[in-house]
Amino acid sequence: MSFWGSLVVVFLAGLATALATGLGALPFFLVDDVSDRWNVALWGVASGIMISASIFGLMNEGLAASEGFPTVLLAGVVVGVLLVVVADDVLDRVDVGKYADDEPERATDGGAVEGVREQDHADDEHGHNHADGEHGHNHADDEHGHSHDHAELVHPDIVAEGDVKKLVLVLGVLTVHSFPEGVAVGVSFADMGLAGGIGMLGLTVPVLAIMMTVAISIHNVPEGLAISIPLRAMGVGRWRMVGAAIFSSLPQPIGAVIAFAFVRSAREFLPFGFGFAAGAMVFLVLSEFIPEALETGEGLDSKGYPELTAGLLGGFGVMVPLLFV
């Protein structure tokens, strides 16, 4: 397959992970609320998948591509972690709330506007406190607060208005957050057509690429749910929630293409790419996904620990078949 044909395949894989984010809104087509217990479990599943795919997939491939001591691989891990730290800082500095609070409208599932409902925001250290509406309790922005920031950023009214400056800001911040996930997908396709893999639709796809595409896609489902919960509380229609959730992950296929093109044209940096993606993924899990799960489970009698543990084990279990292919 030509280089440009490979880019198309990688872009489609990244697009598939972005579309998977929309699945997080689908429970609201069946029920009016999603319990905290299930939400914690879903975050656990996503975390288990991401950790196993990063350590047993990306790191193993990075070690195999390294010669001697894996200096380049470890450098990639450090840079991947630093990118997440910088992304945290950027998200903390950008006042996304003012865009969500501009004339918040309440829409029915049919898209009609029922009126304006003011959202009460108690000031915390970031100046926002987002009501979780359907769950009946408030979550103050924590150290990272990305799920709640995403909910404001992807508010359909912002997207529908089409204001260029607003959309540039939204895409910029979402790119900072989603880029490591797109990189993981792109790097995993580095050996497509160059080494053994699994035959799919006439293509030889590396096992690692399948692992990372599945991992990122499943991880995006609870992230889409986290975005949809507060939007549902605002009265946003179901299909608009799906669109908003997908919009939040659209930078992923772009990141995937950029990473793939880089490691294919500069293969001496392939270990760096594997380390970068693995470092970013594991740090995201430890600094965001697990704390988010535990915050969601605070109201449960178990504090969410059994649900999180079961989800983590389930996530590892999902990856086991691919680890031994």
Strands 129-131 and 105-107: unpaired
For the chain, the structural domain boundaries read 3-323
pLDDT digits (tens, 9 = 90+) for 207-258: 888 888 988 998 888 888 878 877 787 778 888 889 888 888 888 999 899 9
Q: What are phi and psi of 193, to 5 degrees?
A: 80, -5
The closest of 82, 115, 43 to 295, measured between CA atoms, is 43
> Residues of the chain whose pLDDT is less than 70?
1, 91, 94-177, 193-197, 199-202, 322-325
Beta strands, E only, 146-302: 198-200, 203-205
In contact, 46 and 218? CB cutoff 8 Å = yes
Alpha-carbon distance of 54 to 56, in angstroms, equals 6
Alpha-carbon distance of 198 to 300, in angstroms, equals 43
pLDDT of residue 18: 93
Alpha-carbon distance of 259 to 218, in angstroms, equals 21
Task: Count CA atoms within 13 Å of residue 311 on its CB side.
Answer: 26
Residue 51 CB neighbours (<10 A): 22
pLDDT of residue 65: 85
Which residues, at least 6 apart from 74, have a Cβ–Cβ distance to it below 8 Å? 275
3-state secondary structure string across 79-91:
HHHHHHHHHHHHH
The size of the chain, in residues, is: 325
Residue 169 CB neighbours (<10 A): 17
The closest of 51, 35, 1 to 218, measured between CA atoms, is 51
pLDDT digits (tens, 9 = 90+) for 8-20: 999 999 999 999 9
pLDDT of residue 197: 65
